[in-house]
């Protein structure tokens, strides 16, 4: 576990250096600068840097308001909100895959992601992947959109599909779907939730938390004993995203039967 933490810290240091470079680039050239896509942990790391350096002219954007993966955009004070929004189209685009009718409903998020990785593209160049039965929309850095359009059809999985590039305004509305599950907990501590929701031992749950893979309401949480409240949103990287809906009842031996909504 120690080696993993050291590696993570080194990755954070590299990320911070890249962000500071973007900040300096924006200041010296007096123009917009932006990073690759950031996951939830990376966004938390970056926000601390922005606060410490008292940077106010920035935003996170992933193509649509509910995006989980977003780029950091740093901009000079001369740029107002409307000018910033006009520049979004120069940063991100949508690569849309329309499946042939006989393949409707065959592919999930992981299938599209594995296809992207198979093309040799690193994960931080790709944002959210919005899946429908008819295909998907992949939010990508604009400089890679033509690469995807030309190369995705070369994969066997998509050789009968239509792959096109679209502006951000063509994005499909992401419909949130949930699966209701009940879990039995001896307490409302974070490590108990992670063990149950992640289907792992309490020791493994502690490791997952200490590795920085758990978020409560989008904030990184490293304390296994943290108390969870109703309506908290718990994200476990690699395991899923959950809402602590309510306590259904308490058993005779003091355990909690908790209703949880899992994002699907």
What is the number of alpha carbons within 13 Å of residue 196 lying toward its C-beta? Answer: 22
Q: Give me the pLDDT at residue 238, please.
A: 85
The residue extents of the domains of the chain are 2-87, 92-170, 178-263
Q: What local confidence, expressed as pLDDT, does residue 176 receive?
A: 73
218 near 235, Cβ under 8 Å?
yes
Pairing of strands 240-250, 219-220: unpaired
Spans of the chain below 70 pLDDT: 1-8, 174
Superfamily grouping for domain 92-170: RRM (RNA recognition motif) domain (3.30.70.330)
Q: pTM, whole model, 2 decimals?
A: 0.81
d(CA 24, CA 140): 24
For residue 63, the model assigns a pLDDT of 96
Q: Closest Cα partner for 98 from 13, 170, 46?
A: 170
Q: What is the pLDDT of residue 11?
A: 87
Place of tokens 């969870």: 228
- Its CATH class, for the domain covering 178-263, is alpha beta
Residue 208's pLDDT is 95
Q: Give me the architecture of the 2-87 domain, per CATH.
A: 2-Layer Sandwich (3.30)
DSSP string, the chain: -HHHHHHHHHHHHHHHHHHHHHHHHHHHHTS-EEEEEE-HHHHHHHHHHHHHTT--SEEEE-SSTT-SSEEEEE--TT--HHHHHHHGGGTEEEEEEE--GGGTT---HHHHHHHHHHTT--GGGEEEEEEETTEEEEEEEGGGHHHHHHHGGGSGGGTTSEEEEE-GGGPPP----EEEEEEEESS-BHHHHHHHHTTS-HHHHHHHHHTT-EEETTEE---TTPBP-TT-EEEETTTEEEEEEEEEEE-TTS-EEEEEEEE-
pLDDT tens sequence across 2-27: 344 434 578 899 999 999 999 999 99
**CA distance linking residue 194 with residue 234, whole number of Å:** 9
């Amino acid at each position: 576990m120690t080696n993993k933490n050291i590696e993570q810290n080194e990755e954070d240091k590299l990320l911070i250096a890249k962000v500071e470079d973007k900040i300096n680039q924006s200041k010296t050239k007096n123009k917009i600068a932006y990073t690759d896509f950031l996951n939830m942990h990376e966004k938390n790391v970056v926000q601390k840097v922005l606060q410490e350096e008292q940077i106010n002219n920035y935003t996170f954007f992933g193509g649509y308001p509910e995006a989980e993966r977003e780029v950091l955009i740093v901009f000079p004070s001369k740029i107002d909100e409307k000018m910033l929004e006009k520049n979004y189209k120069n940063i991100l685009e949508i690569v849309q895959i329309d499946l042939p009718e006989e393949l409707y409903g065959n592919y999930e998020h992981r299938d599209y992601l594995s296809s992207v990785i198979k093309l040799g593209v690193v994960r931080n160049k790709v944002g959210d992947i919005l899946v429908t039965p008819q295909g998907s929309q992949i939010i990508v850095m604009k400089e890679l959109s033509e690469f995807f359009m030309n190369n995705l059809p070369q994969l066997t999985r998509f050789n009968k599909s239509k792959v096109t590039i679209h502006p951000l305004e063509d994005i499909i509305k992401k419909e949130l779907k949930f699966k209701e599950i009940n879990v039995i907990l001896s307490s409302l501590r974070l490590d108990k939730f992670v063990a149950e929701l992640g289907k792992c031992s309490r020791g493994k749950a502690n490791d997952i938390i200490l590795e920085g893979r758990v978020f409560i309401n989008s904030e990184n949480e490293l304390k296994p004993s943290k108390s969870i409240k109703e309506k908290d949103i718990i994200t476990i990287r690699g395991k899923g995203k959950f809402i602590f809906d309510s306590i259904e009842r308490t058993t005779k031996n003091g355990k909690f039967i908790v209703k949880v909504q899992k994002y699907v």
